[in-house]
Structure formats: structure tokens, C-alpha cells
Amino acid sequence: MLTLVAFIVALGLLITVHEYGHYRVAVACGVKVLRFSVGFGKTLFCWRPKGSPTEFVIGAFPLGGYVKMLDEREAPVAAAERHLAFNNQPLKSRAAIVIAGPAANLLLAVLLYATVSWIGVDEPKALLASPAANSLAQRAGLRGGELVQRAGFEGDELETVESFEQLRWLLTQGALNGRDVRLALASPKAGGASQEVLLELSRIEAKDADAQLFRRIGIVAPLTRPVIGEVMAGAAAERSGLRKGDVVQRVGVTPIVDGQQLREIIRASVQGGQPLSQIWRVERAGAALELAVLPEVKQEAGLAVGRIGAYVGAPPELVSIRHGFFEGLWRGVVRTWDVSLLTLRMMGKMVIGEASLKNLSGPLTIADYAGKSASLGLTQYLVFLALISVSLGVLNLLPLPVLDGGHLMYYLWEGLTGKSVSDVWMERLQRGGVAVLLVLMSIALFNDVTRLFG
């Protein structure tokens, strides 16, 4: 139920804001708006404010909306109202009305990101766990336990890192854009002395921003104590005698220092497709125990990996992040800009084959993430809404017929040539645009089904 409610609220808000952008600028430009609809199909609710020419509608099918304006291309217009028709407005007014929808979504994202900064959020501290084996981080000399104090792209000025999530976002940008990242660290193994390392992310051909990407980088999760959490009934951990609260000290001859290291060892405890039994030394209620742990073998991205059926690692150390009004607002602008650029680059890479089409998501995935983010709290849900709002704004600005960006291309042609696109070409382009959108929607839906049920 939470997933459904969170999904409906997200769609309703984002679509309403988008269409309100069109509506508000249309009214400001002197265009008569006949209908403002959130959703398509059968009308569920309908009202007309006193003295307003606009009918406000909520449709039964929520995946979209529209603003219907007076337009001579769609129906006859009385001579007394011709100046109120959309098609008779100056080019700059028509362009402003079209761009107002995506702009409203981007402005909403700025406010949502800023609101998260104003409210404040508890995020994991940028303490690094043991790097994954043979990863960039391991080759760069990271061993685990380092605190990332500052970070930035190679050649740029390093900026203060407030949390692990901020570091993860920087690494995501670096990997997808092929830019190396420099880290300034405080290492406990060097008595807290500062050091710098370079992660050569430009060597990674990143096509997907998924868990495998961060495993190749080597920075997967923040530092956590190697504690066993909830144990699933009947799973490998329970059968091996592990209990909630056990602190793992050693696996075989390998000392365990953090939860990430332990998770990596569990993953790798497979030999020839069969689980590998190992002796674990654990501390339980102050006493040391040795247990023979035999994991289960699971398939993950085509690889056989070990699983024990228990939560591994204590919650990470958290830091509270909160900013003032102007700093929070500026951070909202910067984050919206960064996410927009990254979204455009990923779309461009998908077009030329440098990024996987698996990155496309549809309504099922959005609904799933809506529910998950809502269950984590208000700030996580606001971040989710901001991300989807950016995606909606950027998507609608693409130069694809039937989208707002396609209409802007028509107006660009009109501005350069002095004449509008002919009706014949308009129809051809619209049909082509619909075909492309249907293909993209089909791929996105296939990806949704594969992710959720594959």
C-alpha cells in the first residue's frame, strides 16, 4: 500500500508541476487555456473556478497530463478571440510556454534538494571500508579505515566531503564521465596523517551505474564493524551456528577488520561452483567461538557468489548534515545541474552504444523506488522526487517530436527560416516521435520486469 500511495503522490506532484508551468506562462502570455488535465481517459473529477475559462480535470489514467489551449489548428476560433489563440502568439511567447513545463520540473528539483539541505539528514560518515580485491581503490593503496576529508576531479580544486553519499555521487560522475578522482585522506594506520590518492576512473569503461561498477572501483560501502545482524530462519548462517550480535574476528587465517571485508570473503567463498566451508572465529558475549560456516551459492549477474542469509555489518557511523537557507538553496541548484548533465550524458551514451539500455527505467521501477524511499523517511523520499523531477524535465527537453523539446526545434526552424514547419512534415515527425517513444517505453518496461521479477 505504501508503494502505491508513494507512487501516486509522486506522479501527481510531478505531472501537476509540469503542466502548471505550461498553464501559468500561457495565461501570462494572454493565451486562453481551455483545460488543465492531470491524467488521461475517463474524467474522475472536474471543476471550473468562478470567472475562469479553464476546466480543471483529474483523469483515470495517471501517467501524464496536458494543457489544452485555444488554437485555430485544432478547432474554429471566433474572430473576437483570435488574439487569445496559441497559434497567433509571437514566437518567443510560444517558445516560453513550451519550455515552462520542463523548467518547472527543474525548479521543483532545486527546491526539493534545497529542502533536504534545510531539514538536515543523517548520512554515513566518509570512512572507507576495505576495498574490493583487485579494484582501483586497492591498487591505489587504500586498505580500509581511511577518512575521506576532501575530494575532487583531477585538475580541479578539492572540496570538503561531508558524507559517504557525497563521495559516492562524485565517484559515479567520475566513472560515467571518464574523469579521475583525487582523494585527500586521514589514515588511522599512519597516525591520522594526511595523504592523497588518485583513483583512475578514466580506465573504467562504465556502461551501468550499478553495484558492479562500485565493486570495480573498490569503494562499495562505508566502514562498519564486522557484526552479524538479523539471521534468516533456515539459512546458511543459522545452520552454521551464527547468531545475531556475533562479532567476526577471523575467517580461516584472515583477520577481519570491517563488515565490507567480511562480505567480500563470503561472496568469494565459492570454488568450482560449490560452496567453500571455512572456520570462523567469532566473539559472542565475551567468549571466543570457532564455527564451520558453509555458505549457499547464488547467481548474481551471471556469477556464482556465496551468501549466508544474514545481515553482515553493523550500521555505519553517521554524521548530521544541515545547511542554512542560501547555502542549501545553492546546493539545490548545483545538484540539479549535476544530475541534469549526468542524465544527458547517459542518454547520449545510450544513443551511441557506450552505455547500456538497461539504464532505462519505467513505471514499475519508479513505483518500487517510490515505496522504498518513502519507507526510509521524508528526506529520502524528497531526494527520490527530486531525481525523478530532473529526469522528467530533461527528458521533455530532448529534441524529439511530441515532446516539448521537439516543439522547440520547430520554433528554432521557424526563427531561422521565417516560416513554420509544414503540416505534412509536422505529421511525419509526430508519427516518428510516437514510434521512438513506444520503442523506449517498451525497453523500459522490459527492464522493469527483468529487474523486479528476473
Whether pLDDT at 362 is above 90: no
Give residue-wise pLDDT tens across range 95-109. Answer: 999 999 999 999 999
pLDDT band at 190 (very low <50, low <70, confident <90, very high): low
pLDDT band at 192 (very low <50, low <70, confident <90, very high): low
pLDDT band at 191 (very low <50, low <70, confident <90, very high): low
Exposure string over 291-320, b if 16+ CB within 10 A, otherwise e: bebbbbbeeeeeeebbbbbbbbbbebeeee
Name the CATH code of domain 136-217 (choices 3.30.70, 1.10.860, 2.30.42, 2.30.30): 2.30.42
pLDDT band at 446 (very low <50, low <70, confident <90, very high): confident
Q: Domain boundaries in the chain?
A: 136-217, 228-314
Give residue-wise pLDDT tens across range 257-293. Answer: 889 889 989 998 998 889 999 999 999 988 999 999 9
- Round to whole Å and give the CA distance between 292 and 324: 53
Section 365-374 average pLDDT: 74
Most confident of 113-127, 374-388, 396-410, 439-453: 113-127
Total number of residues shown for the chain? 454
- Round to whole Å and give the CA distance between 383 and 370: 10
Whether pLDDT at 208 is above 70: no
Section 111-137 average pLDDT: 90
Same CATH topology for 136-217 and 228-314?
yes
| Own/partner pairs, 148-156, CB within 8 angstroms, 24+ separation | 148/183, 148/184, 148/185, 149/184, 149/185, 149/186, 149/194, 150/183, 150/184, 151/181, 151/182, 151/183, 151/184, 152/181, 152/182, 153/179, 153/180, 153/181, 153/182, 154/179, 154/180, 154/181, 154/182, 154/198
Domain spanning 228-314: which CATH class is it, in words? mainly beta
Q: Is 19 a catalytic residue?
A: yes
Give residue-wise pLDDT tens across range 155-187. Answer: 889 999 999 999 998 998 888 888 899 999 987
